[in-house]
Amino acid sequence: MSVFPPALLRLIRNLGNLPGIGEKTATRLALAILRWPDVRAKELAQSIDEIKEKIRFCSTCFSFTETDPCAICADPKRTTDAICVVEDPGDMMAIEKSGGFKGRYHVLHGVLSPMDGIGPDELKIKELLLRIKSGQVKEVILATSPTVAGEATAAYLAGLLKNEHITVTRIACGVPMGTDLKYNDEMTLRRALEARTRA
């Protein structure tokens, strides 16, 4: 028999379904929400309802948006000749925060993972190819994660795009700023050497 009432247990269980949230954290969050004023708790519940009702995919880049096309795809100041391909909208947000890219995006919504049943048809690859065939794109930047699945996805896309008369580039991976070389793994050091630039 649990010491918590059923409604609180339901909230703990639902919070525990979030990625990276274990039972202890879910319990701590649920108890914090329980102590909130009613207005704040209702605002949280309303914001969850709202994202399920209002958020959808941009029909161009497949990022999350309330308007179609999204603000980035609709921005006339952004270049249309470069597309940065990312795994998910979180990656796109990270690149946007860096301020280093002024082109458009394409969100795959995952990476190739045959063991999990994720092949090319489960990702937004056909849609990427259609965008490239429009003729405006001159460069595709593959910005998938430097994981086995991310590298496999980048290699697959590079193979698909090699005959498209566009430049296909891969983001450089290497030694993070402020770290000591001896604490980096072999793969990171190898990629850093491969992606070296003129001093």
What integer pLDDT is reported at residue 1 of this predicted model? 54
What integer pLDDT is reported at residue 199 of this predicted model? 65
What integer pLDDT is reported at residue 197 of this predicted model? 67
Together in a domain, 170 and 111: yes
Kindly state whether residue 72 falls inside one of the protein's structural domains: no
Kindly state whether residue 113 falls inside one of the protein's structural domains: yes
Measuring CA to CA, how many Å separate 74 from each of 10, 25, 50, 105?
A: 41, 39, 23, 12
- Which is it for strands 56-57 and 82-86: parallel, antiparallel or unpaired? unpaired
Supply the CATH number for residue 97's domain.
3.40.1360.10
Query: How many folded domains does the chain comprise?
Result: 2
What integer pLDDT is reported at residue 141 of this predicted model? 95
Together in a domain, 50 and 83: no
Round to whole Å and give the CA distance between 158 and 141: 10
Which pair of structure tokens corresponds to residue 99?
Answer: 């301020």
Structural domain for 10, as ranges = 6-54
Round to whole Å and give the CA distance between 96 and 91: 9
Supply the CATH number for residue 32's domain.
1.10.8.420
- Which is it for strands 82-86 and 104-107: parallel, antiparallel or unpaired? parallel
Name the stretches of the chain with pLDDT < 70.
1, 197, 199
Together in a domain, 90 and 160: yes
Together in a domain, 104 and 33: no
pLDDT digits (tens, 9 = 90+) for 88-144: 999 999 999 989 899 999 999 999 999 999 999 999 999 999 999 988 899 999 999
Together in a domain, 94 and 171: yes
Together in a domain, 101 and 169: yes
Together in a domain, 39 and 85: no
